[in-house]
Amino acid sequence: MEEYLQSALEIVKAQASARPMTEDEIISMVRSIANGIAAINAGQESSKTEDSAAPAMDPKKAIKEASITCLECGKSFKVITKKHLAVHGLTPEEYKAKHGYKKTQALACKSLARERRAKMKDMKLWERKGNKAE
């Protein structure tokens, strides 16, 4: 297991030099990668390891007031972006379908979604479009 841990540390070290990471992210990533390397070496499918590493969280509870938790990796964000979902090999539509969200569900925390909704109502784009046609 030590050789797997050493390989995982090298990978995470490279990732941490490319972008800022919290201590929890580093620990989680090292653990996840070491387990993944061990599973591949043992001949197991990596998809089983990813499923067991993913947090067992209710999709409804993943969207909180100030954050949204990715149900694939367990990291918290204000918005789950297309770029992040691409890391998991998913599009936003596939992610929503996989976890039972409505197609119209924003992948953002509640406060940010509420701010965006209010801003769109204030802009009243539907009225401007009608005025230009006249």
**Using H for helix, E for strand and C for coil, what is the string for the chain?**
CHHHHHHHHHHHHHHHHHCCCCHHHHHHHHHHHHHHHHHHHCCCCHHHHHHHHCCCCCHHHHECCCCEECCCCCCEECECCHHHHHHCCCCHHHHHHHHCCCCCCCCECHHHHHHHHHHHHHHCHHHHHHHHHC
Q: Please indicate, yes or no, whether residues 60 and 116 belong to a single structural domain of this protein.
A: yes
Q: What is the pLDDT of residue 53?
A: 46
Q: Please indicate, yes or no, whether residues 88 and 114 belong to a single structural domain of this protein.
A: yes
Q: What is the CATH number of the domain that holds 85?
A: 1.10.10.1550
pLDDT (mean) for 47-58: 54
Q: Please indicate, yes or no, whether residues 3 and 66 belong to a single structural domain of this protein.
A: no
Range of the domain at 3: 1-53
Amino acid at 109: C
Q: Please indicate, yes or no, whether residues 12 and 44 belong to a single structural domain of this protein.
A: yes
Q: Please indicate, yes or no, whether residues 65 and 28 belong to a single structural domain of this protein.
A: no
Q: Please indicate, yes or no, whether residues 67 and 127 belong to a single structural domain of this protein.
A: yes
What is d(CA 45, CA 36) in angstroms, rounded to the nearest whole number?
9
Q: Please indicate, yes or no, whether residues 45 and 27 belong to a single structural domain of this protein.
A: yes
Q: Please indicate, yes or no, whether residues 87 and 124 belong to a single structural domain of this protein.
A: yes
Q: Please indicate, yes or no, whether residues 65 and 105 belong to a single structural domain of this protein.
A: yes
Q: pLDDT by residue (tens digit) across 16-48?
A: 888 888 888 888 888 888 888 877 877 754 444
7-11 long-range CB contacts below 8 Å, 24 or more apart? 7/33, 7/34, 7/37, 8/33, 8/34, 8/37
Q: Please indicate, yes or no, whether residues 14 and 31 belong to a single structural domain of this protein.
A: yes
Q: pLDDT by residue (tens digit) across 84-133?
A: 999 999 999 999 999 999 999 999 999 999 999 999 999 988 887 655 55
Domain count, the chain: 2
